[in-house]
Amino acid sequence: MEVLLHQIDAFADAPFTGNPAAVMPLPEWLPDELLQQLAEENNLAETAYYTSPLPPEAGAVPGEGPAFHLRWFTPEVEVDMCGHATLASAAQIFDDMQPGADRVHFYTRSGWLTVARTDSAELVLDLPALPSLDVVADPDLVDALGVRPLRTLTGQDEVIVVASEREVRAARPNLSAFPKVARGVILTAPGDTADFVSRFFAPGVGIPEDPVTGSAHAQLTPFWSRDFGRPELTAHQLSRRGGRLRCTVAGERVLVAGRCHRYLDGVVQLPV
C-alpha cells in the first residue's frame, strides 16, 4: 500500500525556517499503532494525518469549504492540539486538492479548527483561546530551565515569564531534569523585534525543543494581549530555526497567521 507524504515548513519566512511537519493524506484510517510507527519513522515534531470521512460526533461543518478529520502524532504520542501541522495540512490541501477554496475546516480532538487563506498568501489558523492561571513556581522546573521567573502560570502548558528576550535566548535547559508536566513548558518574555518571544520544550512527549509551536500561542496570546492592552500582537519563537507569527485575540478564539514552504513530496510504502 502506498501513501503520500508531504513535508512542509509552517510559520516559515523562508525555506529551512519555521517548523517542519509531515502531512499524510489517508484514504481511510489506518491502525493507531501504524500511525504511531510512521510518526516515529518521520522523526519530526508532528505528523498530521487526515481523511475526508468525518466521524459522527463531528456534527455540522462550521462554515463553507471542505472539511476533514485531522489527527496529530509526535514520535511518541498522539496529541490533542497542534498548530503548525494544521497549518501545513491546510497548505497542502489548498495547493493540491482545493485551489479555489479560501478556507478549510478540520475536526480534531480540540473540536473544529479552521484555516483561512488571505490575499497575501498568509494562512490564518483559528484556535480556541486557552486560559492561564498564576501558580507558585516549581523549583525543580526553574532549576532545570536555569532562569529567574517573574511569573509562573499553568494551563495547557506551563508558562515561565522572564524579563527579557536575551534571557529566553540564553537559556540552556537541562531537559533530563524536567519534572513531569501535562504537555510542555513555554519560556517567554517581551521581545526586542516582536511584541513577545518564546521557546517551547516538551521532552515528555518526544519534543526536546519545538521549532515553532502554533498551539502554544493560543495560550500565550491572551496572556500577552492583556499585558499590552491590545488584541493584535507579533511573536517570534526563538528556536534555532526560528519562526514568526501574527497573533490576534478574537473573543474566545485566537487567530495565528503565518506562511508555509513546501520542502518535499514523496510516497511511503506501507507494510499492509
Tell me which residues are annotated as active site: 46
DSSP the chain: -EEEEEEEEES-SSTT-SEEEEEEE-SSPPPHHHHHHHHHHHTSSEEEEEESSPPGGG-S-SSSS-EEEEEEE-SS-EES--HHHHHHHHHHHHHHT-TT-SEEEEEETTEEEEEEE-TTS-EEEEEE----EE-PPPHHHHHHHT---SEEEESSSEEEE-S-HHHHHH----GGGPPP-SS-EEEEEE-SSSSEEEEEEEGGGTEEEES--TTTHHHHHHHHHHHHTSSEEEEEE-SSS-EEEEEEEETTEEEEEE-EEEEEEEEEE---
